Each structure stands twice: as structure tokens, then as C-alpha cells.
Structure 1
Amino acid sequence: MMSSIRILRPRRFSLSWPAAALLLLAGSAAAQVYAPRDPNAARGMQNQVPAASRSDRDPARDSGQVPGLEPGAYPERPEECDGPLGHLLPECQLPGDTLDLPPLERRGSETGLPAGEREGEAAGELQRRYPPELEFLPMPEPEAPSEFQRFAASSVGALLPIYGASLFERVPTTFAPLDRVPVTADYVIGPGDEILLRIWGQVNMDLNLIVDRAGAVYIPQAGSITVAGVEFRQLPGFLRSQLERVFRNFDLSVNMGQLRSIQVFVVGHARRPGTYTVSSLSTMVSALFAAGGPSAQGSMRRIQLKRGAEVVAGMDLYDLLLRGDKSGDARLLPGDVVYIPPVGPQVAAAGSVKNPAVYELKGEETVADLVGMTGGLSALADRERATLERIAAGARRVVEFRLDEEGMRLPVRDGDVFQARTIQPRFEETVTLRGNVANAGRFRWHPGMRLKDIIPDRESLVTRDYWKKRNLLGFTPPEEAIAAEPVEEARRRLSETRIGPTAPDINWSYAVIERQNPQDLMTKLLPFHLGRLVLENDAGQNLELRPGDVVTVFSQADIRVPQMQQTRTVRLEGEFNAPGIYDVEPGETLGRLIEKAGGLTPQAYLFGAEFLRESVRKDQLKRMERYIQDLEQEADKAARNRLANADNPSQAQMLEAEIKSQKEMVERLRSVQPTGRIVLSLDPDSNDFSQIAHMTLEDGDRFVVPALPSTINVMGAVYSPNALVFAKKRPVREYIAQAGGFTRNADEDRAYVLRADGSVLPRQSTSGFDKKSLNPGDAVIIPEHLFKTTFLTNLRNWSEVISQFGLGAAAINVLR
């Protein structure tokens, strides 16, 4: 795949020797792009590109020609462009200086260019713009747990990792980057290394020298010089002494280019044993990373470096992992063997230690040494009790000890499982306060401590939730502080203003102390009267506390209290002289509350009043859910029977359509919510509320008295469903006739009247239904006849549904 890489057009410039050395070092560290010094060499560079890759190029570009200039002509460049970083300046950029090059190889000798022209600013530019991506070694296949890991898991209840194994998971390859780091002073030159030699003064040379297999390099006029075995720190002085035999009055700089590769072996218990070709700067750790590290059966602490028949170095990876000590990491030479022996004695450390794992022992080690390898005990470790599970005489035994100085000297052996126990979560000398209080938590116990010490006043019982919600009452959201666009502002619905407690009220009559008997560990409850304790300062309720006591304060939402103790608010809406939200005193009835609101207005229609109660609504909702479940079960049973008796596919298809329609009706019924309305059964011609004056009130009751309506609603299967003007003593049949009469689908036998007070008057159970007179606000409902199925007809009458669940006239349209 062709890549477009921006390089600079060739030009002549001179560099100081420090700048030249820096550019030479940068160029040898990255994939190299070479810019020839001679302008005519640009054509030579293009000749290195395969013909197939140049077939669609501009001929002027292939010829090295800059567009807009005569052949061989180049524009004048400012002096600052001749510096080592001049090509980065905008004024130094040439038009059309982008060449399409194939992927570049690292070694300059493989590009076909002369060795003396392989360095330049283009190499540094490429390295800056296209840094080498971080590559990762392939992840080793996950190993099965070792036998000792499974053994330890049976004791501690979890599979412990082998310490240090995670170091070799998903590691970046270290060999490519090693070619781009400075070599150390003790690096030994060998065959295959590239030496970058620059000489200036009486003689000028810029050489890239490759050490041949004989260990020598060839320098013009100086001949062959053997450099193999020379350390890098000695190389400049050694070359100077050799060149002084031929040249005088010169200076030189020496650096390393491409380093040689060496072949090493990683054998033994490695994850991926085999032969590896690595950089000559590589060490034992580099080879271990390449091989995936020791396997579960390999040693982390006895790794050997063998050279010939001798062991020249040994490495303990724990020194690197625990202390960051890499002094045992020896450099590799060609043919070296990194040998990983079998794992040595192993112990498992679990519980309250900082790094639970399976550890390898080396020599005689103690519990203190093992705890040190884990990083130490955690803050939750119980220093009074620890255990060692030990294999002795073919059986497992448990050794218990304290983690004191003597216990830490206890020796650990192969196969031991060490567990540091966790302290008990018990709080000593404390008392706990919880529930409906301002500051729940734990308090330090002291002799003579009593309830008033932790519940001193009323403020200590005001919860944080109360203040949070109370503080939000005066908050205006930012989006509502400023008017929105006119269309959006018109659509915005005003929020309803509510009055009521922002948090549940306190249960003043009951609070409790939970106390555990130390003899039989049974928990006993010691109740006390919170109101007498806090409000009346009753000393008899100020009970003494003991360590471990738990004091719980309840709210009225936790335990339901008598109505007389509840905080009750009732909404009076509609035709009252002073409608609003009123606080209900103990023993106060609906009649007294109406009087408190100034009574009813002359326009009030008490017969059509709605008395809504939350407890009734919840009860209606439960009964309605039960009714819908029964309805679905009977419908499914009937559907299965009818489908089983279908005579042909067309009839079955029709039945499936009916069943689908039935399910849709059930879903519509499920979407209707009961209102919690209580039918008051008042006189339609009177506004005397003495019949309901005795009613007791509950928190959240809502009493809505509408104005006297002047219409009758006719809904359902009539030709003109509409609201009609009320006329006194006009019967039902005349209203139906005024609405256009029944449609062909009307189920006349199941017609009913929904009274303004919420009661239902069904035709089937009412004699003289057609002659009945209506009251203002009544609604006449004509259901549609169900031709295709007897599903709803046989199961329930809709008038019963409306009556039982307190559904209003608005629900009729949903159920149609």
C-alpha cells in the first residue's frame, strides 16, 4: 500500500558537528528516509520506487521538478532554512514537495542508496511525524491452575494467583525500542553492528561502517581496522589512534547505528520455550518477556543464564518485583541459554494481607518474610489470631498463633497456607441512633449515659430530608427563570402548588431500644414514649443506655398511628366561600370543615360533588387488578376452546382476529385508573350537607363541589353523541331521541345512566328506565352490541364495572 510521506527537496547546507551528531543519532533510531545532497539525485531516488507504483503520477514530480519552475531551477531559500530545524519553518517549505514512497525498510543498505546519503533531516522529520506505534507481544494462552493453587483454593475459598505471573501478561515488545536507545558505555562491539563515523578537519568523511564477520571495518585510506571486542567507551580513542597513523589535524565523532541481532535460547519451564532473535542490548528479562515468563510450574527465583557449560548469572525475579533491583539482570550474548528450573517450595498467603497470592520460597523463610513479600498486613488484620494450614505426616493440620514478634519468627514450609484473619466488625463502647433523626450514627458510650444524651431536644428529630425538600420549595429552575420562545412558552404547563408535609411526621408515642442480653444473646426491645421524653422532659422515660444499644425513632410512615395522631390535610375545591387546604383537628368532621370554609355558595351543586379518598382509590385499584386478571384467564380459556372447535382455517383466522380485539380491550381497561370516589347518595334537589356532616376525614381527602350544570351528556352508540340542554322531568328516551336515536350496533338492553354523584342506573335492573327523569350533570351511556364475540357480554356488565371501581365519565371514551 503506497503511503504519502512528506520529505524535503534536496539542498546543500552545512552543519556544525554537534548538530550533525544529533541528526545522525535521530536518523539511526527510526525508519530511514534519505534525501540526497545533489539536486540531480532526486531522480535517482525516484528510480528506487517500483514502476507499478509510479504509473499514475505526475511526470514533473517523477522528474524531481517543482511545479511552476524551469527544469533544474530551485527558488532562493533564506539563510535560516539551512539550520538543522529550518525545514520546519513555513517560509522554508517548497510547493509540491510531497513524494509517494513505498513502505520504507529500516536498513539503508536495502534501499539501494549510497551509504553516505542515508542521513538527513528527512529521517528526523519522519520520526517526529510517524512515531513507531507501541506493539504488544501476543498474549500467552491462559494456563490451568496448578495443583497447589487448587489445593489452596479449597482452604481459602478463592483461586490465588501466582505472584509475579501478571508481569508477563500483555507486555509491550522491548526489542524494537532497544534499537532506538543510546548504547551503554560497556557495550561490546561485534559483527553486524553499524558504526557511524564522522571526520572533519584536514580530511572530511561521513561513513556508515558495518562490522564484518571478521570483526573489522574498512576505512578509506586507513584500511581494515579490527573493532570486535572493543567497548563503546573505548571506541573513539581506539579509532583515533588508528587514524592518526594516516591523517593529521582532524577530529571525529563516533556513534552506533543499527545494532546486531543475536540468537538466544529460553528453555525449561517457560510459557513459550524456544529460540529467539533479539537485540544485542537485550538482557535476561527481555528474553523472559519474549517467552511469556515462567509457567505455573516454573521458578521465579532461580532463573539461570548459561554460556556454554557454565552458569554465568542467576536471577531472582522477586528482587525486581519487590525491591526494583535489576542488578542480577545480565546482558545476553549470542548462543546464551536462559534456563527456568522447576518451581521451588510454595506457600499461599490469603486473608487480610495486601497482596494475597501463591509465593515461592528460597531457603529458610519465616512468617515475617512471607508477610513482607505480600506487602504487609492490611489495616483490618487481626493480630491476635492467624493460622497456618500445614501438611504433616500425610495429614493437614492447623497451627494457630498471634502475629506478634514470636509468631512472626515461625518458619514456613512447602505447602503451607497462611491466613491472616480479619478483625470482628463489632464496635466497642458505642451506642447507635437511627431512624427519623437529624444525625443518625454511633455515639461513644460512657457510664451513666441516657437517652437525653443522644436525643437532647426537638431539633435532633428533624431529618436532613426534611430540610432538603423544604429548601427546594423556594428554588426556581434556571429554565423557568427566563421566558422561553413564545411557542414553547405557550405549551409549558404550570406546575401545581401543593401544601403538605415535606417529610413523614414523627411517631411521638413509640420509640424503642434494642439491647442484646450478654448471657443468652437474645435481643430485647425496651419501648419508651418519645413525646414524653422530648416534649415533656419526663425523667421516667429517660432510660439508661448500655454499650451496644440501638435506639430507633420511627415516623408515621414506618408505623401507622391512629387517625387522631396523624397530621391530616383536606382539600376543599369548587363552590366554597373559602376553598383551600385545611388542617383537620382531632375529631373534626366534614360538616365542621365546610363551616370553617364559610359554607357553600348559591351556585353549588352538592349532588354532583366528588369526594375522593386515597385509601379508597388504592382498594379500588387492587380489586380492579384482580378483576382484570380473572378476565384475562377466562378470555384465554374461552379462546382456546373456540380455536379447538374451529371447522376450517378461515374460521380460525376470524377467531384469532377476535381474540386480538379482546386483548386490546383488556389493555384499554388496564390503562383506566380508579379515582377513589365515594358515592354520597345526596338529594339532587337540595344543598343540605347535614347528611354527610358526620363523616370523619383522612389525610389527603379531596372534596370538590361543582357549580350547577345545565347539560346532560349522551354518549356511545347514538347517531349524535353530544351534550344536551337539561330540561326538568324530561325522560331518558327523549334525550336519546334528541341525540339521533340508537345506531344499528347499539346494545339497547345494556344502556345505563351514570349519575352526577357517581352512582349507576342500569336499564336491565331498572323498571321504567326509558321514563326515568335525569338530573343535571347525568350521562346516558349506550354501549355497542358485540356481534362477533360474547366475551365481554357474558363475563361482565359495563355498568357494574363503572359502579364497582368508581370510574368517571372520562373513562367511557377509553373503554369504547
Structure 2
Amino acid sequence: MNSSMSVCGLRRGGRLIFLLALSASLGLHAQTLGGAAGTSATTALSPPVAVPLAPSPGPTGATSPGGSATTIPLLSPAPLSSAKLNGPVVARSAGDASGEVPADTSGGARSTARDVTPLAVTEFQRFVAETTGRTLPLYGYDLFSGPDFQSLKNVPVSADYVLGPGDEVQLKLWGSIDGDMRLMVDRNGQISIPRVGTVNVAGVRASQLESVLKGQISRVYNSFQLSATLGQLRSIQVFVVGQARRPGAYTVSSLSTLIGALFESGGPAANGSMRSIQLKRDGRTVSTIDLYKFINEGDKSADARLLPGDVIVIPPAGPRVALTGALDTPAIYELASPEEPLGKVLSYGGGTLSLTTPHKVLVERIDPTRSRAPRQVEERALDAKGLQSAVRDGDVVTLFKISPEFANAVTLRGNVAAPLRYPYKPGMRVSDLIPEREALIAPDYYVRRNMLVQFESGRRVSDSRVQNEVKNLLEEINWDYAVVERLDRGQVRSQLIPFNLGRAVIEKDPASNIELLPGDVVTVFGVSDLPVPVEKRTQYVRLGGEVQTPGVYQLTAGETLEQVIHRAGGFTHNAFPYGTVFTRESTRLQQQKNLDLAVRRMEADVNSQAIEAVQSAGTREKTDFLQANLATQRTIITKLQSLRASGRIALELDPKTNILPPVVLEDGDQITVPNIPSFIGVFGAVQAETSFLHRFNFSVRDYLERAGPTRDADLDNVALIRADGSVESGQSISRGWFASWSGDVLDKRLNPGDSIFVPEKFDKRSAYARFIEGAKDWTSIFYQFGLGAAGLKVLRN
């Protein structure tokens, strides 16, 4: 703004306008305090704005000569400095001649950011904890333990709000006069409007503000419109005293109420009352609020608007009782009077539950008139009389759950379609609870059966898959044994009453079809829950290879291998019964267990030898030799650990007669009959590991001559692995862990499908030689564990 414009402002608006324009042109600033810490913010005065005014009427209604427009310097919204403020900054009006600093709304005596002070534990809480074993909270105090309370800011002002010093009025004018002003109410309760003068607004309600201002401005101007709203509101100081969590002086918004100030101060302390908090003004009680009504009913009728200098008094807590047991809100409650009805106290926490028994409630009471044993226990009921009975200070009320007993229920569980509780009817028997066989089919049977055809694209259907699915599809019922569990109330003990399920459900035999009583539990077992005799189980075997009709067959009790093969149509003309592979799951598990035990023993022996080698170490050459030897031993053990038992049982058939032994089959047995082989396998320490055509007059020696043993071949321990799963070795060993067969294996004649294994020699100088001498005959190991030629190949490689 140049100086000529300032002079113009002096001529048209008087001295006050000139001073304002001059201040703006010189860049002067007004300072406002921002927060209790004295942080300042800068408010810049805007240059004067030319505002056309209507002709000013004189005292007699005449207009000013020429009717020219008048320039009024206005205060634009003040930009805040970049400094961080502790509270809001209020810009003063240019017409505020009082020089009053705006009221501090940052919190003043105390910060509005709430640090949640934990409640102390009261003596009554400790007493209840010692009595009940539970630490109960004080009811309602967690209301003040939530997030920080935000003071009222930028909220609509109610119509009955009364203006006072420190409030800001935002005045907008248009028509014959244009203007946008922010005017601060000074300590005299006035605002100053340029060319209009001061207007007393203290005590004016917000709903009356526009009419008051319009009346004053119309004395100078006409043909205009205005809008008057409240901007930044004043702050007031109140005091929170007594048993408050954080007592002290608080600077709050002029819109604050009693409840808002309680949130600011953190509410009552542990020993403070929630039932009779008082608001005092000028030495008299203005309002008394019961926070229980506010919490439970949302009743704010006792909440009052605060005025400067108000005092909030939180008195000590009144009588307290403890509620514990079967209710949703166990806590310590404060009474509004020395005694209250039990029902009313229960209502504070939401009342009783449907799970609370109405027949019994215990009240532990302190009788101070008794010098010895002042504590007593009373038993009441939650009926009309009991709910009206009084509780008083120090009472501990315990509520109980209803009994879990069913009055008319019989329970069915176990291997059934619907394990549930069923209603009891007089004369009810087992057959009434299980009326048909379908009640014993578990629902997951149908789920598994339906899944058999799910996602079948590209999936082969094999006999082994069918066998597994058939075995696992349905859990079979134990028809011979089921039990009724019954409570003997006379002896206070449980009874087990067994009965035959088949006779009860199918035959309706009165001896087994037991009459039931309320509370009985009927349990149905499956054949896997309690092992049943073999003939009562459904068993399946898998038969494959060179038989007329391979497949999965259901066994009858005591059925043998020969009978099952006969049922399958017998052998084909290409069958090789001598090489029949017969495996059994129970045998496989036992073989694997024995193999793991043998390997652990070998490993322990090797570790023991390693310790001896370290302790007796000599020259470097000897030490290197021992280390290499131990490494070889551990390699062999590692290979043994990778082997898995097959579960094969050697049938030891006579290759000339092929008479099958009378082996009784078990569930899960697998029989595979190969076709007639034409080769003899030779592998191990030979020049050519290969298969040779079987020749009836050839011995082991003949095949070895054709294979060509290597220089390290140990011909004294040649193993002959027969096609029927048996193994013959070339040396008799009577010591060590295992025993083998005697005889010169090199002269043995071979049958089709037999294999020859030639091991390598071990260094006799090593400490491992004793181990080899005791367990080198791997043939006995592989025979006992059903590993066969495949296992020897793993060891060889």
C-alpha cells in the first residue's frame, strides 16, 4: 500500500483507519500468546481494502455530500507462523482498542493430553481377592481409561450460548457495505466495528447476535445484509478437587460441561465416588451427577455447562459391595445409599444370566458388632423376596451357575451316525435310541464314498487303491459289545453295563435291549476301538500276477493261501509258484524294527571302536589308516540306515513240487505270483554284473567263472539269493550277532530267478575286522529282514 492511499484513508475514515493502514504499510505485527509455554504466533494485518459504503445518514437522516464510497481497513484471516503451537491462536480485531491478549486455550494450568494414571488398588479390593481368589475391578472407572479426551473444538455453538470476553465474532457484510471482519470481545464485553463504534455483546445469546449487530450497524448504514457467527471461543478455568485421579486447575473450552471436565481430569481416583460428584459455583452446589446413571442409562440430565471459576468436587466413595460368580460383569459396585436392594445392584452390571441359578446366592457380610468372628454367610434366592433384600457396605455376593445336568436326556456316542443327546421317554430302551442299522453308519462314510469319483481325471484305479479305499471307507461296528454308562446316585459312582449290540438292535432281545434311565450314556465301538477276533473282522488280501483272476478278495475265517489261489482260479500255465512274493504288513513292521535295532547296535560298536582308535593312536600313518577305516564303516552304516524292510515271508517251496504251505492269511496280505524267469543275476565283486541264461546243470561256480570275479572278490562269502526269498551263504559263522547256513555254496545248483552276490574282501589288519567276522555275512541280515537282492545292491553301491 503506498502512502497516498494511506492519506486517502485518513481523509475518509478518520484517524483510526489511518493508523491501521499505516501499520499495514509498515509491516507491523500483532503478537498472540499460543499455549501455556508462551509459544508465540504472528498475525499480520492486511492492507486496507476499499469498501463502497452507502451514503452515511446524518443525525437528521441526511446523506454525506457526494455520496462517495468509504474505505474501511479490514482484518484478513491471520496466517499462523510455522512454530508448533500448544493451543489455538486467536487473531484480534483491528478495532480491539483494549489491547487484551486472547485467552489461553491450550490447557493453561494443565495439559489436555491425558496420561492415563493407573488406579490404585483399594483395601476392599484386596479383601475381596483374599476372600474369593479373584481380583475384581471397580465398576465404571474404566470409562476414563480410554484414548485421550479431545476438548471441544470446531463444534456448532448452541443457540443459548452466551457471549463473553475472549470470544471471537466473525462478521460478514454485503450490499451497500462490504466487509469480512474477525472481532474479538474485549474484557469489557465489547467489539469494535469500524465507522460504527463499539457494540456491547457480553451476555448476548448466540441466537440474538445477528439482530443486535444489525440494529447497531443500521444506525450508520442502510441497504445491507450481514452474517454473524462465532469463531474461536473463549477458554475458562475450572477446578477439579477431592478424590480425583488428577486434581488441579484446568483450562477448558467455554462449551465444556461437567462430564467433559471429568474426562479432562481422568475421572475419580480409586477412592473417589462415582455416585455423587458435585459442581459448585459461588459456594453453592449447582448440580450433582451420578455417573452410574450416565453409564447404564445414558442419563445426562445432571450434566451442566461450566462457567469460569466452577469447582468440581469428587467426594470419597460411598459403601461398596462385590459381585462375583456367574454374571457377565463381576466387579465392585458403589451404593448410592447405605443399603440398596440386591436386584438393583445386579442391574448395574446388566442383571443375571440365564445360566445363573435362581435358587442359591451367598452373601458374605461383616457384622462390626461382633467382637469375635465378625464375618457371617447368608444364603438367599433370586426370587422376588431375595431381589428386594438389602446389601450393604462390605458385602461379597456370590452367584452360582445352573447345574449342567440334563433332566431328560440320554446320550448316544461312538461309532454312530449322530452322536447327540436325545430326549428320554419313560420305558425307553436301547432299540428306541438306535432304531435301525442306518443309525450306526457314520456320516463321513457317505462323504468318503462320494469323493471316490471326485477329481478322477487322469488317475489310475489300481487293485491296491481299491483295497485301501474299501478298507478305510467304513468303520465296522463291534456288534458283540457296547456299554451303558450310568450314574449310581446311591453309591455316587459310575456303572458300566455291557450288552450285545446286535441282539439289542437287530433281534430286540430283552436281555440285551436294556431299559435306559435319564442321564445314561450309550457307547458304540468300532472293531478298531476294541480288537475283536479275526473271524469277526472283515479282511481283504490282494492277489496278483500269474493267477487266473487277480484282484482283491475278502477272506473268510481261517482261509489259507492255497484256498485263496484256488478261489482265484489257480495258477496260469506261465506261473512260477517257487518265486511267489508273499508280504505281510505285521511282518514288515517287525522286520523294520529289528533292522533299526541292528543298525543302532552296529553304530554303537563303530563309535566305541572310534574312541579306542583315538585313545590308542600311534604314528601318523596308523592314525590315517584308522580314520579311513572308520569312514568306510560309517558309509556302510549309512547305507544300512537307508534300507527298508519289505515284509516278505520266504515260503521255502520245493521247486519240483511247488506245493504251497498251509499259511493262514491275514488282512492286508499281498501275494504276487511271477511268470517263469529265464535268467540268473550275478552282481557284486565281478567283472561283468549282468544276467545269464539259466542252465539246469550249471552251479554257482559256473556262473562266477563266466562273470569273472575281481581281485578283491571274497569267494568264501558268496551269497546265493533264492527266488523264493531265502538266502544261502558260503561260510558257516557261529559267533557274532547273526548265524548263517553251512555248506559249499559254490557247488549249489540254481533255480530260475536266483541271484548270486559276491562281496569284497575287508582288510584283515583293521580293527573293524572283528566286526566283519561277526556280522559280515550280510546274507543272514537280508534274509531275516526280507531285504533280498535289492538290499544287497544298495550295500554294494
Paired residue for 1:498? Answer: 466
Pair 348,718 (structure 1): closer, same or farther in 2 beyond 3 Å: farther
Paired residue for 1:324? Answer: 298
Q: Is the 8 A contact 1:210 1:217 kept in 2?
A: yes
Measure the CA separation in 2 of the matches of 1:667 and 1:581.
37
AA partner of residue 390 (structure 2): P
1:704-715 → structure 2 map (5 Å cutoff) = 704-715=672-683
Q: Do residues 701 (structure 1) and 646 (structure 2) align? A: no
Paired residue for 2:501? Answer: 530
2:358 pairs with one of 379, 383, 391: 383
Q: Do residues 423 (structure 1) and 399 (structure 2) align? A: no
**How well do the aligned residues superpose, as a CA RMSD in angstroms?**
3.9
Paired residue for 1:619? Answer: 590
1:565 pairs with one of 527, 533, 536: 536
In structure 2, the residue corresponding to 1:604 is in which secondary structure? coil
1:421-474 Cα shifts (integer Å, max 9, x gaps): 011111112222222222222222222212221121222222212222122222
Pair 661,523 (structure 1): closer, same or farther in 2 beyond 3 Å: farther
How many residue pairs match? The answer is: 681
Q: Is the 8 A contact 1:349 1:374 kept in 2?
A: no
1:609-758 → structure 2 map (5 Å cutoff) = 609-627=580-598, 630=601, 669-686=640-657, 688=658, 690-692=659-661, 694-716=662-684, 721-732=689-700, 735=703, 741-742=709-710, 752-758=719-725
Which range moved further: 535-544 or 546-555? 535-544
Computing the radius of gyration from Cα coordinates, the structure with the larger value is 2
Task: For structure 1, list consecutive stretches of 5 or more residues without a partner in the other structure.
Answer: 1-40, 45-100, 117-135, 484-491
Measure the CA separation in 2 of the matches of 1:514 and 1:434.
11
Q: Do residues 260 (structure 1) and 234 (structure 2) align? A: yes
1:166 pairs with one of 142, 160, 163: 142
Paired residue for 1:354? Answer: 328
In structure 2, the residue corresponding to 1:171 is in which secondary structure? coil
Q: Is the 8 A contact 2:547 2:673 kept in 1?
A: yes
CA deviation after TM superposition for structure 1 residue 137, in Å: 5.7
Q: Is the 8 A contact 1:137 1:171 kept in 2?
A: no
Measure the CA separation in 1 of the matches of 2:311 and 2:375.
40
Measure the CA separation in 2 of the matches of 1:643 and 1:259.
92
CA deviation after TM superposition for structure 1 residue 577, in Å: 1.1
CA deviation after TM superposition for structure 1 residue 265, in Å: 4.1
Measure the CA separation in 2 of the matches of 1:168 and 1:717.
88
Measure the CA separation in 1 of the matches of 2:222 and 2:182.
21
Task: For structure 2, list consecutive stretches of 5 or more residues without a partner in the other structure.
Answer: 1-23, 28-79, 96-111, 733-741
1:408 pairs with one of 366, 378, 387: 387
CA deviation after TM superposition for structure 1 residue 599, in Å: 0.8
CA deviation after TM superposition for structure 1 residue 698, in Å: 1.6
TM-score (norm 2): 0.76
AA partner of residue 807 (structure 1): L
Pair 794,193 (structure 1): closer, same or farther in 2 beyond 3 Å: farther
1:438 pairs with one of 417, 422, 437: 417
Paired residue for 2:564? Answer: 593
Q: Is the 8 A contact 2:505 2:513 kept in 1?
A: no
Measure the CA separation in 2 of the matches of 1:740 and 1:266.
109
Measure the CA separation in 2 of the matches of 1:709 and 1:254.
112
Measure the CA separation in 2 of the matches of 1:654 and 1:390.
89
AA partner of residue 755 (structure 1): R
Paired residue for 2:782? Answer: 802
1:768 pairs with one of 738, 741, 744: 744
Measure the CA separation in 1 of the matches of 2:320 and 2:758.
88
CA deviation after TM superposition for structure 1 residue 173, in Å: 3.5
Pair 642,151 (structure 1): closer, same or farther in 2 beyond 3 Å: farther
Paired residue for 2:181? Answer: 207
CA deviation after TM superposition for structure 1 residue 181, in Å: 1.8
Q: Is the 8 A contact 1:386 1:420 kept in 2?
A: yes
1:152-551 → structure 2 map (5 Å cutoff) = 152-175=128-151, 178-307=152-281, 309-363=283-337, 364-392=339-367, 393=370, 395-476=374-455, 480=457, 497-499=465-467, 500-501=470-471, 502-551=473-522
Matched residues, percent identical? 44
Q: Do residues 777 (structure 1) and 757 (structure 2) align? A: no
Measure the CA separation in 2 of the matches of 1:794 and 1:302.
98
Q: Do residues 149 (structure 1) and 149 (structure 2) align? A: no
Paired residue for 1:3? Answer: none
Q: Is the 8 A contact 2:92 2:182 kept in 1?
A: no
AA partner of residue 660 (structure 2): Q
Pair 222,590 (structure 1): closer, same or farther in 2 beyond 3 Å: same
CA deviation after TM superposition for structure 1 residue 373, in Å: 1.0
Q: Is the 8 A contact 2:91 2:182 kept in 1?
A: no
Q: Is the 8 A contact 1:171 1:289 kept in 2?
A: no
1:493-541 Cα shifts (integer Å, max 9, x gaps): 8886314141221111222222222211233332222222333343443
Which range moved further: 627-636 or 362-371? 627-636
Q: Do residues 604 (structure 1) and 578 (structure 2) align? A: no
AA partner of residue 201 (structure 1): G
CA deviation after TM superposition for structure 1 residue 260, in Å: 3.0
Which range moved further: 392-401 or 366-375? 392-401
Pair 526,256 (structure 1): closer, same or farther in 2 beyond 3 Å: same
Measure the CA separation in 2 of the matches of 1:365 and 1:653.
94
Pair 225,696 (structure 1): closer, same or farther in 2 beyond 3 Å: same
Pair 277,589 (structure 1): closer, same or farther in 2 beyond 3 Å: same
AA partner of residue 758 (structure 1): G
Pair 676,332 (structure 1): closer, same or farther in 2 beyond 3 Å: farther
Pair 668,619 (structure 1): closer, same or farther in 2 beyond 3 Å: same
Which range moved further: 347-356 or 231-240? 231-240
